[in-house]
Structure 1
C-alpha cells in the first residue's frame, strides 16, 4: 500500500536525494531522457532540509521506501538555487507581487512505479497540504521534457508563459 505524507525525517530526505540521482540527466541515456523524462536540479541535503522545515515535501511511501516525491518550495527560497533564480524572476513578472503560491520545486516517481497514478496523487496531496492562505502551485518544465509536460497538463496545469534561460527553453505552468 502506498502512503502519501509530508517528509518528516532525514531518512525521507536522503531517500529523495537517492531517487533524484537516478533521474538526473548525467545518469540517464539519451533514450531514457526522451522516453522517461529527467530532472534538472540536483539538491543538497542542507537546502532540501531548509525547504522541508518551512513546508514538508510530499512523499509517496511503499513499505517506508520513497517511491515518489514533490518538493515544496516557498517563494522565500527564490535566491537559494542558482538554476531556479530565472524561474522566480519570470514568476514575479506574471504574478505581480503576490506571494501566496507554492513552487513545486521538483517532482519524481521511481521508474518502477510510473503509470499508476502516483504523480497525480502527489499533486493532490500537495494541494491538500498547502499552507494556510496559499491557493496556487507554480512550476516550470524544460520544454524538451515532453513526458513531464504531458503529465502536468493531464493533472490540470495550464501554461503561464514560455521563456528562455541559459540556452534552455522553459514552460512556466500553474495549477489553481
Structure 2
C-alpha cells in the first residue's frame, strides 16, 4: 500500500470512479447503514481545480486508487456550490473562542475507502498522511458528516476529530461539523 498525493489525471479519474460507487444515491439503506457513504459528486474539473491548490491524499494498491481524502482550501469555496453553505457557516461558528473563518484551516472535502479494503487501517493511515502533509500549513482539519453516517462519524472520532457543531439542513438532513486540532 502506498500513501501519497494525487498527481495525475488518471488518479483523479480513479477518485471519481470510487466516489460514484459510494454515493448515497447509488447504495441501499442497508449498505448505507453498514458501510457509510459519500454525499457530494464532484466534476473532474472541480476535483482538478481543488487538486491544483492542495493535492488530495490517496492510498494506492499498485496502480489502483483504493482510498482518498480530498483537500479543499478556502480558495475552493466557490468551486463546489453545494458546499458554499458550509463555508458560510464557518463565518459564524466559533472554535476555541475564535471564528472558524479566522483560522487557517483545511477542509476534508470527502473521504472514502473502497469496499474491499475497509477495516484494514487504511482510513487511519490516510489521515496520518493527511496530517503529515498539512499540519505545518494549516491550524486544523475540518469537515461535515451526515449524522446518519455513523460509520464515518465513529471513524473520524477514532482518529481525533471532535464534533464542534450540529445542525439540520433545509432538506432535513442532520449534520455534524467535526474538527481535528493538530
TM-score, normalised to structure 2's length? 0.92
Query: Is contact 1:55-1:131 (8 Å) kept?
Result: no
Gaps of 5+ in 2: none
Task: State the alpha-carbon separation in 1 of the partners of residues 175 and 161 from structure 2.
Answer: 14
Gaps of 5+ in 1: none
What residue number does 2:124 align with? 120
Q: 1:101 to 1:123 in 2, by over 3 A?
A: same
Post-superposition CA distance 1:74-133 (Å, at most 9, x none): 011122222211211222222524241000000000010000111111111111111753
What residue number does 1:33 align with? 32
Post-superposition CA distance 1:38-70 (Å, at most 9, x none): 100000000000000010000000011000000
Of residues 150, 163, 166, the one that matches 1:162 is 166
- Structure 1 residue ranges, 4+ long, deviating more than 4 angstroms after superposition: none
Task: State the alpha-carbon separation in 2 of the partners of residues 127 and 99 from structure 1.
Answer: 16
Query: Match of 1:129, SS?
Result: helix
Report the count of equivalent residues: 175
What residue number does 2:146 align with? 142
Task: State the alpha-carbon separation in 1 of the partners of residues 81 and 51 from structure 2.
Answer: 18
TM-score, normalised to structure 1's length? 0.95
